[in-house]
Structure 1
Amino acid sequence: MLGLQQVHHIAIIATNYAQSKSFYCDILGFTLTSEVYRETRDSWKGDLALNGQYVIELFSFPFPPPRPSRPEACGLRHLAFSVADIDQAVAHLESHHVPCEAIRVDPLTGKRFTFFTDPDGLPLELYEA
């Protein structure tokens, strides 16, 4: 048996590291736990935690290629975050000028969800727990 225990982290490449770091930390509420500039790669790497748990590795690289399409390109479709109150979460995002799609209901679970994007247009989801 392979013995997987949990997802360790998610890696995201940003076109503007400072803007994305501000988005994930100041708007979404992640905490920057470590940060390093890798001179040989002209790249920043920040480790972000959510509620004390390391979750996202945020990178910058010079001139990364764009994502092929949203969200049905082959590969990772989106990153989803659970929230207790989706209306409150949407209001918070919109107060920071982050537009959200209309809230929908999952026909299988009856739970409410919506999508929004990070500064690079990466699809993110809020899913009411």
Structure 2
Amino acid sequence: MDLLGLHHVAIICGDYARSRAFYTETLGLPVIAETYRASRDSWKLDLGLPDGARLELFSFPGAPHRPSRPEAQGLRHLAFAVADVEAASAALLAKGVAVEPIRTDSLTDRRFTFFADPDGLPLELYEADQPAG
């Protein structure tokens, strides 16, 4: 088996409209497709990432809360690569999003910080390598 990369990450939202606004307006992800499935009373929103991967947001009536902290099993966090973690953090703060202080990873020497989506899902900004120019 030869994996080609990450295709998508799926997130079930507690409040679809609130999460849709957060991911499209606050984070600026473009909408690829939005579908309402009447049989499930469920929305599915496909959002694009610059590397071609997708983020899928779902709404399901009555979906239970998922434990997140401390260190619950399952997805730990979703990390977004950025060129400048300080600038990205400032942009989120300007939009009213609480952002943790910027830290440096002792293993990679890269800067990173955490914030949360409207349902408390931990999200990370990770300062990635810059391509040679």
Query: What's the counterpart of residue 37 of structure 1?
Result: 36
Deviation at 1:76, TM superposition (A): 0.8
The alignment-based identity, stated in percent, is: 59
Matched-pair contact (CA < 8 Å) for 1:71–1:78? no
Question: For residue 89 of structure 1, what is the aligned residue in structure 2?
Answer: 88
Q: What amino acid is the match of 2:43?
A: W
1:116–1:124 CA contact under 8 A, matched in 2: yes
State the 1:70 CA deviation. Answer: 2.3
Amino acid across the alignment from 1:125: E
**Shift of residue 53 of structure 1?**
2.0
Could you tell me the TM-score, scaled by structure 1's length?
0.94
Q: Does 1:51 align with 2:47?
A: no
Unpaired runs of 5+ residues, structure 2, are: 129-133
**Ranges in structure 1 where 5+ consecutive residues have no aligned partner:** none
Post-superposition shift, 1:52?
6.8
- Compute the displacement of 1:54 (Å): 4.0
- Contact map agreement 1:71 1:77 (CA 8 A) in 2: no
After TM superposition, list the pairs within 5 Å mapping 1:1-129 onto structure 2: 2-51=1-50, 53-70=52-69, 72-129=71-128
| Paired residue total | 128
> In the alignment, residue 38 of structure 2 is paired with which amino acid?
E
Q: Which amino acid in the other structure matches residue 74 of structure 2?
A: G
Instruction: Calculate the TM-score normalised by the size of structure 2.
Output: 0.91
